[in-house]
A and B are shown apart, each in its own frame.
Chain A
């Protein structure tokens, strides 16, 4: 098995007095896609933010390539090779779409390669080419999401942290995005940590999965195994056993709590 490139050990992160994650450890192996599943407010975003230095953990260690990176400035972390597609389309609203993409490649200096990558991104999302000179703030929600993903690609990172990349995208684009993700992973060996509400597609794309509940990891396994588990099938994939009533109004308790 390949080496662990990103190692999270026992981190605790607070929002003021609120403890959002409570001692979490996880590993992302080089060349693999790991995914974190969890309900709303479980703390998935917080994990990613802690890794990329947006938030400081109170305790614990984040190790990247054998080096501790917690509590550093996010730009420094990024320059080590971790690129983060944040939740909620953080574009630069008054810069043109093109300038947004260029900012994605801020840490790179090879002009030709950057130009090539822009073309590549345009081929993935032709609409970004059409809108190249429009301020990004005027794009539609889905277009901003495409921009946000493309921008992270422009950095050519070693590890990509993806926070709900499919948010607000059309079914066709969701499929395309995950094809691209998989392709980048396979062809360029890019490592990814993926957080996604669409558990079905996430589990089918990823190699290894963690299940998060109110700030704690309650289950971890390869995605093949996870896909077999009944709780996962029921609560994350929405596949119900036949025989039970088709639509239920009550919330069934999860077995692992």
Chain B
């Protein structure tokens, strides 16, 4: 059974049909990529999955559960984490604190025990820290642990955001243009990380990306959107050779 399934998904903003009857399925353990021209509706699909927008039509199923109507804050604990195209970190906090917020959906301590900082809270905090340190090691962020986000260069922020998503220990991770703003070397790193996320951590990846090199390296399936509709669907090689895709997206 597939991990995630979108059926006939649609949303419109006023007159703009941003997403219009999209169907796709993501298998467990794969890397599924959505590509398409600017404004095709890729990010909107992410926003629909993380329930920031209410779809006007269609259903979404995750792990056998209908998530079309769950509240947005419940998505993380179901096992879906995401990054943002424009980077949405907590600017006035340190990298460490940002990653710890990623642990929020796993915290079970009550308000009053927190006010007293009971030993149970301390234990839970240490446990969260351990998990966060794993992610820091994984992404080579040691150097930035205590830096304020507002002082970090763009590329590092992208990685921190990825780390924050990993801290939620998701089953499905949504990456919105993970390589944008990264140079070749860093894109290369990103491609390794995505591979590791998929293979070592066993997390399914849903990605939006414009760098076709990265897409070909890591994706198992590619979905091409244009004007909110599906244009093509298949392996990275297939879609890159599709003349429609070349015309609308890749350019001659």
Q: Are A and B in direct contact (Cβ within 8 Å)?
A: yes
Closest to B191 in A: A247
Knowing A39-B185, A170-B210, say if A141 contacts B249 (CB, 8 Å). Answer: no
Pick the contact of B13: A89, A127, A138, A238 (CB < 8 A).
A138
Which chain A residue has the least Cβ–Cβ distance from B39?
A140
A169 touches B184 (CB 8 A): no
Q: How far is the CA of A169 from the CA of B181 in the complex (A)?
A: 11
A172 on interface, CB distance cutoff 8 Å: yes
Q: How large is the interface on A (under 10, 10 to 19, 20 to 34, 35 or more residues)?
A: 35 or more
A169 in contact with B210 (CB, 8 Å) = yes
Which of B13, B38, B177, B185 has the largest number of chain A CB atoms within 10 A? Answer: B38
Q: A168 CA to B155 CA in the complex, in Å? A: 14
Asked if B85 CB lies within 8 Å of chain A CBs, one says yes
Known: A18-B151, A87-B154, A141-B177. A247 touches B250 (CB 8 A): no
The answer to whether A257 has its CB under 8 Å from any CB of chain B is no
Cross-chain contact B37 with A164 (CB below 8 angstroms): no
B118 sits at the interface (CB 8 A): no
A124 contacts B by Cβ under 8 Å: no
Q: Which residues of B contact A87 (CB under 8 A)?
A: 154
Tell me if A40 and B154 are in contact (CB < 8 A): yes
Contact A238 B186 (CB under 8 A): no
With A and B bound together, what is the CA distance between A109 and B43 in angstroms? 38
Task: Name the interface residues of B122-172: CB closer than 8 Å to any CB of A.
Answer: 151-156
Chain B residues contacting A247 (CB-CB under 8 Å) are: 192
CB-based contact A40/B249 at 8 Å:
no
- Check if B102 is an interface residue, CB within 8 A of chain A: no
Size of the B side of the interface (Cβ < 8 Å), in residues, is: 36
Q: Indicate if A237 sits at the interface (CB-CB under 8 A).
A: yes
A173 touches B38 (CB 8 A): yes
Q: In this assembly, does A142 line the interface, its C-beta being within 8 Å of a C-beta of chain B? A: yes
Chain A residues near B36 (CB-CB < 8 A): 170
Chain A residue contacts of B16, Cβ below 8 A: 134
Nearest Cβ on chain A to B154's Cβ, whole angstroms: 6
Residues in B with CB closer than 8 Å to A175 are 251
**CB of B250 to closest CB in A, whole Å:** 5
B184→A140 contact, CB < 8 A:
no
Q: A15-B151, A176-B251, A247-B192 are in contact. List 18 more A-B contacts (CB 8 A).
A: A40-B156, A41-B156, A88-B86, A88-B154, A140-B39, A140-B43, A141-B43, A167-B180, A170-B35, A170-B37, A170-B249, A170-B250, A171-B212, A172-B251, A173-B37, A173-B251, A174-B210, A236-B183
Interface residues of B (CB under 8 A from A): 13, 16, 35-40, 43-44, 85-86, 151-156, 177, 180-188, 192, 210, 212-213, 248-251
Top 3 nearest A-B pairs (CB, nearest first) are: A142-B38, A40-B155, A172-B251
